[in-house]
């Protein structure tokens, strides 16, 4: 059950295009919150809310250097997400192969 809640938080965080934009920016390396907001053309308050959702999904974490707060990608969680997706892709690929074979056998088009 705990794993399901974690996955819900992760996929909720990924469901918004603005948060995906922030993640794309972080793929190049850690960035200050202020720079993320500027790059994404967001007010700092809006960016902070999106960053909080990404943190709740454990997709990113923050560190403080002086007065700047930096965001970093949490690569361990990304490996977990990739594993989850790969597991389901394998399952659905097999199911789709079965469906294709069935349709060929029945002559459906």
- Residue 52 structure tokens: 């909080």
What's the mean pLDDT in 70-81? 91
95, 62: one domain: no
pLDDT digits (tens, 9 = 90+) for 1-27: 678 898 899 999 999 999 999 999 999
Phi, psi dihedrals of residue 29, rounded to the nearest 5°: 140, 170
65, 79: one domain: no
Torsion of CA 44, 45, 46, 49, to 10 degrees: 120
What's the mean pLDDT in 99-107? 76
Is the distance from CB of 98 to CB of 56 less than 8 angstroms? no
Q: What pLDDT was estimated at residue 59?
A: 97
Q: What pLDDT was estimated at residue 81?
A: 85
Distance from C-alpha of 33 to C-alpha of 54, rounded to nearest angstrom: 13
- Find the domain containing 64 and state its range: 1-73
Residue 55, pLDDT > 70, answer yes
80, 104: one domain: yes
Got the DSSP string for 53-98? HHHHTTSEEEEEETTEEEEEE-HHHHHHHHHHHHHHHHHHHHHHHH
For the chain, the domain total comes to 2
CA atoms within 13 A on the CB side of 71: 27
37, 69: one domain: yes
């Amino acid at each position: 059950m705990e794993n399901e809640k974690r996955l819900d938080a992760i996929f909720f965080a990924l469901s918004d295009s603005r948060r995906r934009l922030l993640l794309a920016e972080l793929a190049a390396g850690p960035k200050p919150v202020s720079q993320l907001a500027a790059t994404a053309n967001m007010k700092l308050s809006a960016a902070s809310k999106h960053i909080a959702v990404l943190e709740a999904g454990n997709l990113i974490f923050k560190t403080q250097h002086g007065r700047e707060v930096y965001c970093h990608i949490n690569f361990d969680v990304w490996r977990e997400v990739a594993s989850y997706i790969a597991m389901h892709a394998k399952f659905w690929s097999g199911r789709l192969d079965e469906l294709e074979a069935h349709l060929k056998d029945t002559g459906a088009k």
